[in-house]
Amino acid sequence: MNTERTEYDAVLADPAGVAPREPMRVLVAGGAGYIGSVVTRLLIAEGHHVTVLDDLSTGHADAVPSGVELVRADIADAGTILARGGFDGVLHFAAKSLVGESVSDPAKYWRTNVCGTRALLDAVAEFSVPRLVFSSTAAVYGEPDAIPITEDAPTRPTNPYGASKLSVDMMLAGECAATGLGAVSLRYFNVAGAAWGAGERHGTETHLIPLALDAAAGRRGPLTIFGEDWPTPDGTPIRDYIHVADLARAHVLALGAATAGRHLICNLGSGQGFSVRQVLDAVTNVTGLDVPQQVGPRRAGDPARLIASHERARAELGWAPQQGLADMVRDAWDFAANLANR
């Protein structure tokens, strides 16, 4: 505990950071996954009492910190844990999240992301859990009309993954109005980096930074850049990235900000974004290795820029990103090296 507390102070020295509050008893659904395991570590460092629920279909048991109870179960069975009583909140990360898979197997996404969450909300209501933080996605906006994307932008998801997340947001709005639940949905694009011994370990990796690191290290073939003729300064698409430690801080802040009867939606983003070329340059600068690469055609439906505004998160949560692209790449690189040496 003391080691985690010290590292938290060193990494997230932020006078407007997580406000001190009484310890809470929380359930982290999906807490053995990438983001959930980092958030669990921060909750522990903040003095909260955590139980993790995860079916381990994509998560890892060893990602759950020692001393934290891990219940291996489906999200639809969350009621068996909440029935113990005394829970002050739920943080909900348990979801399927591969865009391509959601197109080829949409039933899996409706079943897990929507039906599973409905069962969770039923248990939250039955056992009087007062607050919930939902890990949503900026994919609910689809192809935006304006950049940066604000929470008032039209929601037009272009795949079942984004549609399933939007469905949960809509359920939460109704639940808050009907039951007095206090809920916060956090919408963001790409998460990267590692923190407090936890990082990315996806069976199917689709994220640019770990793919680029693997290519640089020779763990996979050349990286494909999907078009270099985009209307951007260097011709490659621009995307939003958030360090996973910054994202964890937002979730803990949201837990404290959840207000009875209100569903708050906050976008989380850098406000500026980084191009594919900038990401590859950062990988080379951090690792000292070139990233083998090839240029392919544009992918249908890809927009030139995807950047989210975080102005509402700043106003409502006191949150703003503290770490940059180099931090994300360095921490992801160090985590991968430590993982290889286990």
DSSP code string of 22-91: ---EEEEETTTSHHHHHHHHHHHHTT-EEEEEE--SSS-GGGSPTTSEEEE--GGGTHHHHTT----EEE
The confidence band for 12, taking pLDDT boundaries of 50, 70 and 90, is very low
CA dihedral (157, 228, 286, 194) in degrees, to 10, reads 10
Within a domain: residue 286? no
The confidence band for 338, taking pLDDT boundaries of 50, 70 and 90, is confident
Within a domain: residue 102? yes
The residues that are catalytic are 161
Number of domains into which the chain is organized? 1
pTM of the model: 0.92
Within a domain: residue 332? no
How large is the average pLDDT for residues 307-314?
A: 96
CATH code for the domain of 39: 3.40.50.720
Within a domain: residue 197? no
Domain that holds residue 152: 2-16+23-192+242-268
Within a domain: residue 206? no
pLDDT tens profile 66-113:
999 999 999 999 999 999 999 999 999 999 988 889 999 999 999 999
Within a domain: residue 85? yes
Higher confidence at residue 206 or residue 241? 241
Phi then psi dihedrals of residue 174, to 5 deg = -70, -40
The closest of 98, 97, 99, 9 to 46, measured between CA atoms, is 9
The closest of 191, 201, 248 to 62, measured between CA atoms, is 201
Within a domain: residue 84? yes
Within a domain: residue 213? no
